[in-house]
Amino acid sequence: PSPVHYLIYGSASFLLYLLLLAELLVHSSGRPAHISPLCGMFGSMIPQVDRLMNSSKRLHDLELVNFAAVEHRLHSLPHIQHTAAYFSSLKVNESLSQLFSYSQSFKLHVDWLKTAKENMSLSVQWAESSSIHLQQLSNLVNTSLHQIGADVPQSTPPSLPDVSTAFDALKFSVELSERLEAFCNWSKRVLRHLQRLSRCPRH
């Protein structure tokens, strides 16, 4: 065969190679990337935290409160870490377990406050709303833990103080409101971090 024959044959083979490569790229780009089932759960949890934040701010029915003057008496509330070292070491299983435990603990405290307010004939609208959002958040986290085969932490009833006056109920409302807001900020930061760890698509 002449050199021209080899040139034509080589060009045809190279062209066929390019066509096959192009077809392969089209097929591979058309396939959706694997998305963790947790991504949808995280996407549902964040709006729930936003709604909880909104109701927690109204727990005390006051427009202006000097939080620095509030005595912290609810020692059974979770101690939440906000350090950079903590957030940089987050793991999905551990973080979801912690989020579930915290949600359950806050719900027990909010339900206790709701009962105390009812006994003092005070408004319980926002305590009830906060309790509902905490339960819905707990349900979502519970489902997520089951999805990854992790154990769901058991809740222990906290030891809570007696509420003997309406003023006591108001002070506890302010304290719980402040701590709930901190929990909401922590939760959103944790969930955003877990979204990145799970490589969830950005919206």
Q: Which domain holds residue 142?
A: 36-197
pTM, two decimals, is 0.79
- Please report whether residue 17 resides in a domain: yes
Write down the mean pLDDT value for the chain: 84
- Please report whether residue 187 resides in a domain: yes
Segment 60-88, tens digit of pLDDT: 866 544 545 567 789 999 988 888 888 88
- Please report whether residue 202 resides in a domain: no
Taking alpha carbons only, the member of 158, 166, 173, 78 closest to residue 125 is 173
Mean per-residue pLDDT, 161-168: 92
**pLDDT score recorded for residue 81:** 83
Taking alpha carbons only, the member of 167, 164, 179 closest to residue 76 is 179
Clarify whether residues 18 and 115 are in a common domain: no
Number of domains in the chain: 2
| R_g of the chain computed on alpha carbons | 27
CA–CA dist 94, 71 (Å, integer): 31
- Please report whether residue 203 resides in a domain: no
Clarify whether residues 90 and 176 are in a common domain: yes
Clarify whether residues 109 and 16 are in a common domain: no
DSSP 8-state class, residue 151: P
Clarify whether residues 6 and 60 are in a common domain: no
CB 112 within 8 A of CB 160: yes
Clarify whether residues 52 and 90 are in a common domain: yes
Clarify whether residues 127 and 169 are in a common domain: yes
Segment 97-109, tens digit of pLDDT: 999 999 999 999 9
Give start and end residues of each alpha helix (H) in the chain: 3-30, 38-56, 84-88, 92-119, 125-147, 166-197
